[in-house]
Structure 1
Protein backbone atom coordinates (compact mmCIF):
# COMPACT_ATOMS: atom_id res chain seq x y z
CA UNK A 1 0.00 0.00 0.00
CA UNK A 2 2.17 2.80 -1.27
CA UNK A 3 0.95 6.15 -2.58
CA UNK A 4 1.47 6.09 -6.32
CA UNK A 5 -0.38 9.25 -7.36
CA UNK A 6 -1.75 12.47 -5.87
CA UNK A 7 -4.27 14.52 -7.81
CA UNK A 8 -4.79 18.12 -6.79
CA UNK A 9 -7.44 20.30 -8.36
CA UNK A 10 -7.31 24.04 -7.74
CA UNK A 11 -10.34 25.44 -5.98
CA UNK A 12 -11.01 29.12 -5.52
CA UNK A 13 -12.91 29.48 -2.27
CA UNK A 14 -12.30 33.23 -1.92
CA UNK A 15 -15.25 35.63 -2.14
CA UNK A 16 -15.39 39.34 -2.83
CA UNK A 17 -18.65 41.27 -3.05
CA UNK A 18 -18.77 44.99 -3.78
CA UNK A 19 -21.78 47.29 -3.84
CA UNK A 20 -21.98 51.02 -4.25
CA UNK A 21 -23.64 53.95 -5.92
CA UNK A 22 -22.10 56.08 -8.67
CA UNK A 23 -23.39 59.63 -8.95
CA UNK A 24 -22.90 62.02 -11.85
CA UNK A 25 -24.33 65.41 -12.74
CA UNK A 26 -23.42 67.93 -15.41
CA UNK A 27 -24.70 71.29 -16.61
CA UNK A 28 -23.62 73.59 -19.42
CA UNK A 29 -24.53 77.23 -20.10
CA UNK A 30 -23.31 80.27 -22.03
CA UNK A 31 -21.49 83.03 -20.18
CA UNK A 32 -20.22 86.15 -21.94
CA UNK A 33 -18.22 85.25 -25.04
CA UNK A 34 -17.83 81.62 -23.97
CA UNK A 35 -19.47 78.69 -22.22
CA UNK A 36 -19.27 77.10 -18.79
CA UNK A 37 -19.43 73.33 -18.25
CA UNK A 38 -19.92 71.96 -14.73
CA UNK A 39 -19.53 68.28 -13.93
CA UNK A 40 -19.49 66.30 -10.70
CA UNK A 41 -18.92 62.58 -10.23
CA UNK A 42 -18.71 60.51 -7.08
CA UNK A 43 -18.71 56.95 -5.85
CA UNK A 44 -20.25 55.94 -2.55
CA UNK A 45 -19.18 52.46 -1.45
CA UNK A 46 -21.86 50.57 0.48
CA UNK A 47 -19.96 47.33 0.86
CA UNK A 48 -16.67 45.71 -0.12
CA UNK A 49 -16.84 42.31 1.55
CA UNK A 50 -13.78 40.07 1.28
CA UNK A 51 -13.39 36.49 2.45
CA UNK A 52 -10.20 34.78 1.34
CA UNK A 53 -11.17 31.58 3.13
CA UNK A 54 -8.33 31.89 5.63
CA UNK A 55 -8.55 35.21 7.47
CA UNK A 56 -11.61 36.62 9.22
CA UNK A 57 -14.05 37.99 6.57
CA UNK A 58 -14.09 41.80 6.47
CA UNK A 59 -15.99 44.67 4.92
CA UNK A 60 -13.37 47.18 3.73
CA UNK A 61 -15.75 49.95 2.60
CA UNK A 62 -14.72 53.02 4.57
CA UNK A 63 -11.26 51.72 5.43
CA UNK A 64 -8.00 53.30 4.25
CA UNK A 65 -7.79 51.01 1.24
CA UNK A 66 -11.26 52.04 0.06
CA UNK A 67 -12.70 55.30 1.46
CA UNK A 68 -16.47 55.37 1.69
CA UNK A 69 -16.85 58.34 -0.68
CA UNK A 70 -14.61 59.46 -3.56
CA UNK A 71 -15.58 62.52 -5.57
CA UNK A 72 -14.47 64.99 -8.25
CA UNK A 73 -16.04 68.25 -9.47
CA UNK A 74 -14.90 70.23 -12.51
CA UNK A 75 -15.74 73.72 -13.75
CA UNK A 76 -14.56 74.56 -17.29
CA UNK A 77 -14.81 77.92 -19.02
CA UNK A 78 -14.15 78.00 -22.77
CA UNK A 79 -13.86 81.25 -24.74
CA UNK A 80 -12.02 80.56 -27.98
CA UNK A 81 -9.00 80.30 -28.03
CA UNK A 82 -8.75 79.88 -24.21
CA UNK A 83 -9.99 77.09 -21.93
CA UNK A 84 -9.63 77.29 -18.15
CA UNK A 85 -10.50 74.36 -15.90
CA UNK A 86 -10.64 74.08 -12.11
CA UNK A 87 -11.01 70.62 -10.58
CA UNK A 88 -11.71 69.72 -6.96
CA UNK A 89 -11.12 66.10 -5.98
CA UNK A 90 -11.33 64.38 -2.66
CA UNK A 91 -11.96 61.40 -0.44
CA UNK A 92 -13.96 61.03 2.76
CA UNK A 93 -12.40 60.22 6.11
CA UNK A 94 -11.69 56.55 6.67
CA UNK A 95 -10.47 54.04 9.22
CA UNK A 96 -7.31 52.00 9.46
CA UNK A 97 -9.47 48.90 9.60
CA UNK A 98 -13.21 48.49 10.14
CA UNK A 99 -12.59 45.54 12.47
CA UNK A 100 -10.36 47.53 14.84
CA UNK A 101 -11.81 48.48 18.23
CA UNK A 102 -11.06 52.10 19.12
CA UNK A 103 -10.53 52.67 22.84
CA UNK A 104 -8.11 54.31 25.27
CA UNK A 105 -8.91 52.80 28.68
CA UNK A 106 -10.47 49.51 29.74
CA UNK A 107 -9.78 48.01 26.33
CA UNK A 108 -10.55 44.37 25.63
CA UNK A 109 -7.64 42.11 24.80
CA UNK A 110 -6.39 42.75 21.30
CA UNK A 111 -6.80 39.74 19.02
CA UNK A 112 -5.91 39.09 15.40
CA UNK A 113 -9.59 39.37 14.47
CA UNK A 114 -10.31 42.45 16.62
CA UNK A 115 -7.27 44.58 17.31
CA UNK A 116 -7.50 47.54 19.65
CA UNK A 117 -6.29 50.99 18.62
CA UNK A 118 -6.42 54.40 20.29
CA UNK A 119 -7.28 56.30 17.08
CA UNK A 120 -8.86 54.45 14.17
CA UNK A 121 -9.67 57.60 12.15
CA UNK A 122 -7.81 58.94 9.12
CA UNK A 123 -8.89 62.35 7.86
CA UNK A 124 -10.21 62.80 4.36
CA UNK A 125 -8.56 65.09 1.83
CA UNK A 126 -9.51 67.68 -0.77
CA UNK A 127 -7.24 68.85 -3.60
CA UNK A 128 -7.64 71.58 -6.21
CA UNK A 129 -6.13 71.37 -9.72
CA UNK A 130 -5.93 74.15 -12.32
CA UNK A 131 -5.40 73.83 -16.08
CA UNK A 132 -5.33 76.31 -18.98
CA UNK A 133 -5.08 75.63 -22.69
CA UNK A 134 -4.65 77.92 -25.67
CA UNK A 135 -5.69 76.82 -29.17
CA UNK A 136 -2.68 77.67 -31.37
CA UNK A 137 -4.61 77.29 -34.62
CA UNK A 138 -1.37 76.29 -36.34
CA UNK A 139 -2.39 72.80 -37.30
CA UNK A 140 -5.61 70.95 -36.78
CA UNK A 141 -6.10 70.37 -33.03
CA UNK A 142 -2.89 71.96 -31.74
CA UNK A 143 -2.87 73.56 -28.30
CA UNK A 144 -0.42 74.78 -25.68
CA UNK A 145 -1.24 73.91 -22.07
CA UNK A 146 -0.16 74.52 -18.51
CA UNK A 147 -1.54 72.60 -15.55
CA UNK A 148 -0.97 72.61 -11.82
CA UNK A 149 -1.99 69.55 -9.81
CA UNK A 150 -2.55 70.02 -6.07
CA UNK A 151 -2.57 73.80 -6.52
CA UNK A 152 -2.39 74.57 -2.78
CA UNK A 153 0.35 71.96 -2.16
CA UNK A 154 -1.68 70.05 0.42
CA UNK A 155 0.25 67.32 2.21
CA UNK A 156 -1.17 63.80 2.27
CA UNK A 157 -2.62 62.47 5.50
CA UNK A 158 -0.11 60.61 7.63
CA UNK A 159 -0.98 56.94 7.96
CA UNK A 160 0.79 55.01 10.71
CA UNK A 161 2.08 51.54 9.96
CA UNK A 162 2.58 48.93 12.64
CA UNK A 163 5.09 46.11 12.86
CA UNK A 164 3.25 44.22 10.10
CA UNK A 165 3.09 47.30 7.84
CA UNK A 166 5.32 48.25 4.95
CA UNK A 167 6.59 51.61 6.17
CA UNK A 168 10.19 50.97 5.18
CA UNK A 169 10.91 52.51 1.81
CA UNK A 170 7.34 53.79 1.42
CA UNK A 171 5.76 57.13 2.28
CA UNK A 172 3.77 57.11 5.52
CA UNK A 173 0.46 57.50 3.72
CA UNK A 174 -1.89 55.56 1.49
CA UNK A 175 -0.40 56.13 -1.95
CA UNK A 176 -3.50 55.03 -3.83
CA UNK A 177 -5.77 57.43 -1.94
CA UNK A 178 -3.79 60.61 -1.22
CA UNK A 179 -1.71 62.91 -3.44
CA UNK A 180 1.90 62.14 -2.53
CA UNK A 181 3.68 64.37 -5.06
CA UNK A 182 2.54 67.77 -3.83
CA UNK A 183 2.19 70.64 -6.29
CA UNK A 184 3.14 69.54 -9.82
CA UNK A 185 3.51 71.85 -12.82
CA UNK A 186 3.13 70.60 -16.40
CA UNK A 187 3.71 72.66 -19.53
CA UNK A 188 3.52 71.42 -23.09
CA UNK A 189 1.97 71.28 -26.53
CA UNK A 190 -0.61 68.75 -27.72
CA UNK A 191 -1.27 68.11 -31.38
CA UNK A 192 -2.77 65.60 -33.76
CA UNK A 193 -1.36 64.78 -37.16
Structure 2
Protein backbone atom coordinates (compact mmCIF):
# COMPACT_ATOMS: atom_id res chain seq x y z
CA UNK A 1 0.00 0.00 0.00
CA UNK A 2 1.18 3.52 -0.70
CA UNK A 3 0.13 7.13 -0.65
CA UNK A 4 1.67 10.46 -1.65
CA UNK A 5 4.10 11.82 0.95
CA UNK A 6 4.95 15.52 1.19
CA UNK A 7 3.57 16.30 -2.26
CA UNK A 8 4.77 14.90 -5.62
CA UNK A 9 8.49 14.50 -6.34
CA UNK A 10 9.38 14.11 -10.01
CA UNK A 11 12.41 11.96 -10.78
CA UNK A 12 13.83 10.11 -13.76
CA UNK A 13 13.82 6.31 -13.64
CA UNK A 14 17.54 6.28 -12.87
CA UNK A 15 17.08 8.83 -10.07
CA UNK A 16 14.23 6.75 -8.67
CA UNK A 17 16.32 3.58 -8.65
CA UNK A 18 19.15 5.46 -6.95
CA UNK A 19 16.70 6.70 -4.31
CA UNK A 20 15.46 3.17 -3.63
CA UNK A 21 19.02 1.89 -3.29
CA UNK A 22 19.73 4.26 -0.38
CA UNK A 23 16.37 5.10 1.19
CA UNK A 24 15.08 3.46 4.37
CA UNK A 25 11.55 3.87 2.97
CA UNK A 26 10.12 2.18 -0.10
CA UNK A 27 8.55 4.30 -2.82
CA UNK A 28 6.32 3.55 -5.78
CA UNK A 29 6.93 5.43 -9.01
CA UNK A 30 4.45 6.46 -11.72
CA UNK A 31 5.75 8.45 -14.66
CA UNK A 32 8.09 10.60 -12.60
CA UNK A 33 5.93 10.96 -9.49
CA UNK A 34 7.17 9.26 -6.32
CA UNK A 35 4.98 8.21 -3.39
CA UNK A 36 6.20 6.71 -0.14
CA UNK A 37 4.87 3.38 1.09
CA UNK A 38 2.89 3.45 4.33
CA UNK A 39 2.40 0.95 7.14
CA UNK A 40 -0.33 -1.68 7.11
CA UNK A 41 -2.95 -2.88 9.58
CA UNK A 42 -2.76 -6.21 11.39
CA UNK A 43 -5.63 -7.50 9.24
CA UNK A 44 -3.79 -6.48 6.07
CA UNK A 45 -0.58 -8.20 7.16
CA UNK A 46 -2.38 -11.38 8.25
CA UNK A 47 -4.17 -11.70 4.90
CA UNK A 48 -0.92 -11.13 2.95
CA UNK A 49 0.92 -13.77 4.99
CA UNK A 50 -1.94 -16.26 4.63
CA UNK A 51 -1.84 -15.91 0.84
CA UNK A 52 1.96 -16.00 0.61
CA UNK A 53 2.23 -19.08 2.84
CA UNK A 54 -0.27 -21.00 0.73
CA UNK A 55 1.46 -20.00 -2.52
CA UNK A 56 4.88 -20.95 -1.15
CA UNK A 57 3.56 -24.37 -0.16
CA UNK A 58 2.32 -24.86 -3.74
CA UNK A 59 5.25 -23.29 -5.57
CA UNK A 60 7.89 -25.99 -5.19
CA UNK A 61 11.10 -25.07 -6.99
CA UNK A 62 9.52 -23.71 -10.17
CA UNK A 63 8.25 -20.35 -8.94
CA UNK A 64 9.29 -17.72 -6.43
CA UNK A 65 6.94 -15.92 -4.05
CA UNK A 66 7.75 -12.48 -2.62
CA UNK A 67 5.96 -10.31 -0.07
CA UNK A 68 5.83 -6.48 0.05
CA UNK A 69 9.45 -5.56 -0.64
CA UNK A 70 10.06 -6.65 -4.23
CA UNK A 71 9.85 -3.79 -6.74
CA UNK A 72 7.92 -4.70 -9.90
CA UNK A 73 8.33 -2.86 -13.18
CA UNK A 74 4.89 -2.83 -14.82
CA UNK A 75 5.72 -0.28 -17.53
CA UNK A 76 8.81 1.59 -18.74
CA UNK A 77 8.28 4.27 -16.10
CA UNK A 78 5.89 2.66 -13.62
CA UNK A 79 7.08 0.65 -10.59
CA UNK A 80 4.95 -0.84 -7.80
CA UNK A 81 5.50 -2.92 -4.67
CA UNK A 82 2.58 -5.39 -4.73
CA UNK A 83 1.62 -7.12 -1.49
CA UNK A 84 2.44 -10.51 -3.06
CA UNK A 85 4.37 -11.25 -6.26
CA UNK A 86 4.89 -14.61 -7.97
CA UNK A 87 7.37 -15.07 -10.79
CA UNK A 88 8.29 -18.25 -12.62
CA UNK A 89 10.94 -16.58 -14.81
CA UNK A 90 14.63 -16.54 -13.99
CA UNK A 91 15.43 -13.28 -12.15
CA UNK A 92 17.88 -10.88 -13.78
CA UNK A 93 17.92 -8.27 -11.01
CA UNK A 94 18.27 -8.71 -7.27
CA UNK A 95 15.89 -5.88 -6.39
CA UNK A 96 13.44 -5.69 -9.27
CA UNK A 97 11.03 -8.04 -11.04
CA UNK A 98 10.30 -7.40 -14.71
CA UNK A 99 8.29 -10.55 -15.48
CA UNK A 100 5.66 -11.19 -12.78
CA UNK A 101 3.13 -13.91 -13.52
CA UNK A 102 0.73 -13.15 -10.68
CA UNK A 103 0.30 -10.34 -8.15
CA UNK A 104 -1.95 -9.60 -5.17
CA UNK A 105 -3.05 -6.28 -3.72
CA UNK A 106 -4.90 -6.22 -0.38
CA UNK A 107 -7.23 -3.22 -0.45
CA UNK A 108 -7.03 -0.54 2.25
CA UNK A 109 -9.36 2.47 2.70
CA UNK A 110 -6.58 4.94 1.86
CA UNK A 111 -5.36 3.10 -1.25
CA UNK A 112 -8.37 1.23 -2.64
CA UNK A 113 -9.05 3.78 -5.39
CA UNK A 114 -5.44 3.60 -6.58
CA UNK A 115 -5.36 -0.21 -6.44
CA UNK A 116 -8.71 -0.62 -8.18
CA UNK A 117 -8.21 1.93 -10.96
CA UNK A 118 -4.61 2.99 -11.60
CA UNK A 119 -2.87 -0.24 -10.64
CA UNK A 120 -5.49 -2.50 -12.20
CA UNK A 121 -5.07 -0.71 -15.54
CA UNK A 122 -1.27 -1.05 -15.52
CA UNK A 123 -1.41 -4.67 -14.39
CA UNK A 124 -3.81 -5.50 -17.23
CA UNK A 125 -1.37 -3.94 -19.71
CA UNK A 126 1.64 -5.86 -18.41
CA UNK A 127 2.74 -8.55 -20.90
CA UNK A 128 3.10 -11.95 -19.27
CA UNK A 129 1.00 -11.12 -16.21
CA UNK A 130 -1.64 -13.85 -16.17
CA UNK A 131 -3.78 -12.76 -13.23
CA UNK A 132 -4.04 -10.39 -10.29
CA UNK A 133 -6.19 -10.37 -7.16
CA UNK A 134 -7.78 -7.46 -5.31
CA UNK A 135 -8.50 -8.74 -1.80
CA UNK A 136 -10.84 -6.94 0.59
CA UNK A 137 -9.92 -6.63 4.28
CA UNK A 138 -13.29 -6.13 5.93
CA UNK A 139 -15.39 -8.53 3.86
CA UNK A 140 -14.65 -12.02 2.64
CA UNK A 141 -14.43 -10.86 -0.95
CA UNK A 142 -11.78 -11.42 -3.59
CA UNK A 143 -11.82 -9.96 -7.09
CA UNK A 144 -9.92 -12.21 -9.46
CA UNK A 145 -8.81 -10.61 -12.73
CA UNK A 146 -7.41 -13.02 -15.30
CA UNK A 147 -6.76 -13.45 -19.00
CA UNK A 148 -8.93 -15.81 -21.02
CA UNK A 149 -7.38 -18.08 -23.64
CA UNK A 150 -7.95 -15.35 -26.25
CA UNK A 151 -6.24 -12.72 -24.06
CA UNK A 152 -9.45 -10.98 -22.95
CA UNK A 153 -9.43 -9.91 -19.31
CA UNK A 154 -12.20 -11.39 -17.16
CA UNK A 155 -13.25 -10.85 -13.58
CA UNK A 156 -14.61 -13.32 -11.02
CA UNK A 157 -15.89 -12.06 -7.66
CA UNK A 158 -15.89 -14.65 -4.87
CA UNK A 159 -17.55 -13.86 -1.55
CA UNK A 160 -18.28 -15.76 1.65
CA UNK A 161 -16.48 -19.00 0.80
CA UNK A 162 -15.31 -20.87 -2.24
CA UNK A 163 -11.96 -20.84 -3.95
CA UNK A 164 -9.85 -18.64 -6.19
CA UNK A 165 -7.84 -20.15 -9.04
CA UNK A 166 -4.21 -19.04 -9.26
CA UNK A 167 -2.19 -19.51 -12.48
CA UNK A 168 1.33 -19.64 -11.03
CA UNK A 169 1.92 -21.71 -9.16
CA UNK A 170 -1.06 -23.61 -10.56
CA UNK A 171 -3.25 -23.98 -7.49
CA UNK A 172 -6.31 -22.56 -5.79
CA UNK A 173 -6.81 -20.54 -2.62
CA UNK A 174 -9.90 -21.01 -0.52
CA UNK A 175 -11.36 -17.97 1.17
CA UNK A 176 -11.05 -19.88 4.45
CA UNK A 177 -7.27 -19.98 3.85
CA UNK A 178 -7.07 -16.33 2.80
CA UNK A 179 -9.01 -15.09 5.84
CA UNK A 180 -7.72 -17.59 8.41
CA UNK A 181 -7.47 -15.87 11.78
CA UNK A 182 -9.16 -12.70 10.49
CA UNK A 183 -12.37 -11.96 12.34
CA UNK A 184 -15.12 -9.81 10.89
CA UNK A 185 -15.38 -6.50 12.71
CA UNK A 186 -18.39 -6.11 14.99
CA UNK A 187 -18.86 -9.85 15.46
CA UNK A 188 -21.39 -10.12 12.62
CA UNK A 189 -21.44 -13.34 10.58
CA UNK A 190 -19.64 -13.34 7.25
CA UNK A 191 -21.96 -13.07 4.21
CA UNK A 192 -23.18 -16.22 2.49
CA UNK A 193 -21.23 -17.48 -0.54
CA UNK A 194 -21.83 -15.74 -3.85
CA UNK A 195 -19.90 -15.91 -7.12
CA UNK A 196 -20.25 -13.41 -9.93
CA UNK A 197 -18.49 -13.62 -13.28
CA UNK A 198 -18.46 -10.71 -15.68
CA UNK A 199 -16.27 -9.60 -18.59
CA UNK A 200 -13.75 -6.85 -18.07
CA UNK A 201 -13.47 -4.12 -20.73
CA UNK A 202 -10.63 -4.68 -23.19
CA UNK A 203 -7.79 -2.28 -22.30
TM-score, with structure 1 as normaliser: 0.28
Q: Which has the higher contact order (CA 8 A, sep 6+)?
A: 2
Which of the two has higher C-alpha Rg? 1
Query: Higher strand proportion, which one?
Result: 1
Query: Higher helix proportion, which one?
Result: 2
